[in-house]
Every structure is written in C-alpha cells, then in structure tokens.
Chains A and B, each alone.
Chain A
C-alpha cells in the first residue's frame, strides 16, 4: 500500500514569506504528526492531529500552524518565514488512538533565504 506522501519535496522561500506543506497519510490512518528536523536540534515535535482535531502541540511559535481535513490529509503552514525555519519537515501517520508507531514520509526540505 502507498506510504506517507509529502509535497513538495524541496522548497526555497524568502524571509517574510509564508509556506504551506502537504501530507497524505497511509490510507486508514487517522493520526498525522509533524516534526521539524535540523542538524543541531534533531527531531522536534510540532503538532499532532487526529480526526481533524489538534491533539498535541509542541513548543513552537504561533507562526507554525496546521490542520487536518476529513480525508485525514494534513497541511502545515509557516507564516513570516525566518532563516532559522530552514529544515527538513517530516510528516508521520499512525493508526490512531492506542496505536503506536509512526510511518514517516520522506519530508519537505525547506530553505529560507
């Protein structure tokens, strides 16, 4: 079956712009989580959505937001981009409540210039 699909794979944006990243989870998975990965900080949890509701949120500023649609697809938005937002953004899906273990997508590499 198809894995977790993230689009686009690569993105270059200018400081101050905003960006929207997309994630399509594995069919049947209702939980989608987003992570930011940088060389210095490793994987940092952004937020998790389950059945269109944000269930958990990490310690990121309000410029980072997300949403989940009824088909479980999710989007992540970053407004007013800063140079420090350059990172690999990973989406992961799981079967939902009580179902542990993520399947990750290949990520979106965001570069802010």
Chain B
C-alpha cells in the first residue's frame, strides 16, 4: 500500500537553530515529491518539487533533498515567520497524490 510518513509530528526550535524534517515514502511508480507549507486557516502553499534521487532544491532558508526512500527539508537558521505546518506529498503513476500528515514547526524568538 502506498504510504507517506512525516516525522517528527511537531518540532520546536529556537530562532537560529537549524534542523531537518523527514518525509519517508513507500510507493510504486513515484513520479515526483512535493513540499508544501501551510499556515493556520489557509491552503497549502507550494515550496518545491523533486523528481529524482539526488536532486536538491533551495529557497531562502529551506533546502529539500530526495533519496530513493525519503526526502528531507532542511531549515537553516529559522526565523519565527517560518513557523507553519510543512506537508510532503508524492505523486505516482496515474497522477494520484498522497500526502503525509505534516510536521508542525514552531520557531521561538
């Protein structure tokens, strides 16, 4: 059964304290992996797409990497405005999307 698991469920960081979020997946026919950011009461906001193992993408303090079994979202020197829920999703053959349940990140000033 196709599955996406994110860890940890929640993460509290001091401002400037770097860390990583994990997204592991067990799917057949992976076509791509996505990272989204979601603020309370809003829809997810697209961050990155990764298509093949070894690929990396960066945007400001965020860097996403992909291996054959998992993806990491690295957050370098986070700021309070980075507080949000980060969602990982995979798309498989047939254009079916599977989302993880997210990691709730809180950055304390």
A100-B31, A100-B32 known; A107-B42 Cβ under 8 A: yes
- Report which of A4, A48, A107 forms a contact with B95, defined as CB distance below 8 A: A48
B window 28-53: CB within 8 A of A: 31-32, 34, 36, 41-46, 49
In this complex, the interface size class of chain A, counting residues with CB under 8 Å from chain B, is 20 to 34
Chain B CB within 8 A of A66 CB: no
Measured CB to CB, the residues of B under 8 A from A are 31-32, 34, 36, 41-46, 49, 87, 89, 91, 94-102
Measured CB to CB, the residues of A under 8 A from B are 4, 33, 35, 41-43, 45, 48, 55-56, 90, 92, 97, 100-107, 109
For the A-B complex with A42-B101, A43-B44, A102-B44 known, give 18 more contacts whose Cβ atoms are closer than 8 Å.
A35-B99, A41-B101, A42-B100, A43-B89, A43-B99, A45-B99, A55-B95, A92-B43, A100-B91, A100-B95, A102-B34, A104-B36, A104-B44, A104-B45, A104-B46, A106-B43, A107-B42, A109-B41
| A-B pairs with beta carbons under 8 Å apart, 5 shown | A42-B102, A100-B91, A106-B43, A107-B42, A107-B43
